[in-house]
A and B are shown apart, each in its own frame.
Chain A
Amino acid sequence: MNCKEATRYISESMDRPLSTGERLRLRLHLFLCHYCSDFSRQAAFLRKVNQQKSKPKP
């Protein structure tokens, strides 16, 4: 799995359950790649931004 594929899987994992194989390969990639680990955290942060956007602003 390269980074381009990993980012696709990270995105898809937020919308559907990955298969066991996909999940394991992604986990291994994330363990080895700090770029994709950051990408994964940032995609999760985008979700948080949008959920907070639905609530009244501070």
Chain B
Amino acid sequence: MTTPDDRQLAEFRDYLLRYALYRLRDEAAAEEAVQDTLLAAIQAKSGFAAQSSIKTWLTGILKHKIIDAQRKLCRDPFQLDDKLDDEGELSDFDSLFDKTGHWGSDGPRTWANPEAALEQQDFWRVYEECAQRLPKRTALVFAMRESLGHEIEEICQNLDITATNCSVLLYRARMSLRLCLEKNWFGRED
């Protein structure tokens, strides 16, 4: 079994990019993780074990690069448009509640047949737009929890944040996405 040449490795670029983007929700970070992976692969071709496929081998390297990138995204001060404090106090959504902490006049409405939306391409486009509006760190934690099904301990450990911070970010994501979908999909008058 020969080691793969550079061109063979590059053929997996698109696949790796989709894999990384799905986990990082950030194009620049995904691009960088994939480049680092291909670079590492080119430098370490001898590490390729013939019994695994090139794809599996590259994905294995990429997984490590993704964890590094997740940590970096989470620490980058320019990304911290979603502030956190240790008490987990939240004032972001205060305007939705009245002084006693109950839903104001704009409380959640009943969504008619949400399951049917899953079959409509337009719904997925609206959902993607809503998801794009989340702050990066919030989006990252939400994707790790809901798309990848990671447990909280795992997310905290990978990103080096507290469980309280984690639950605050997940709450924000759920509140924002719910509100966005209600405004732009389920509340539409048509």
Task: Give A residues with C-beta under 8 Å from B.
Answer: 2-5, 7-8, 11-12, 14-16, 33-36, 38-39, 41-43, 45-54, 57-58
Contact = CB atoms under 8 A, between A and B. Distances in A.
Given A49-B118, A50-B146, A57-B124, A2 B101 contact: yes
B85 interface: no
Nearest to B172: A11
Contact of A3 (B102, B149, B152, B177): B102
21 contacts: A3-B97, A3-B101, A4-B101, A7-B175, A11-B167, A11-B171, A12-B167, A15-B152, A16-B163, A35-B107, A36-B103, A39-B108, A39-B178, A42-B178, A42-B182, A43-B178, A46-B174, A46-B177, A46-B181, A49-B118, A58-B119
Q: Which secondary structure dominates chain A's binding surface?
A: helix
Interface stretch (B1-9, B32-40, B65-73, B109-117): B109-117
B103 A35 contact: yes
Q: Which secondary structure dominates chain B's binding surface?
A: helix
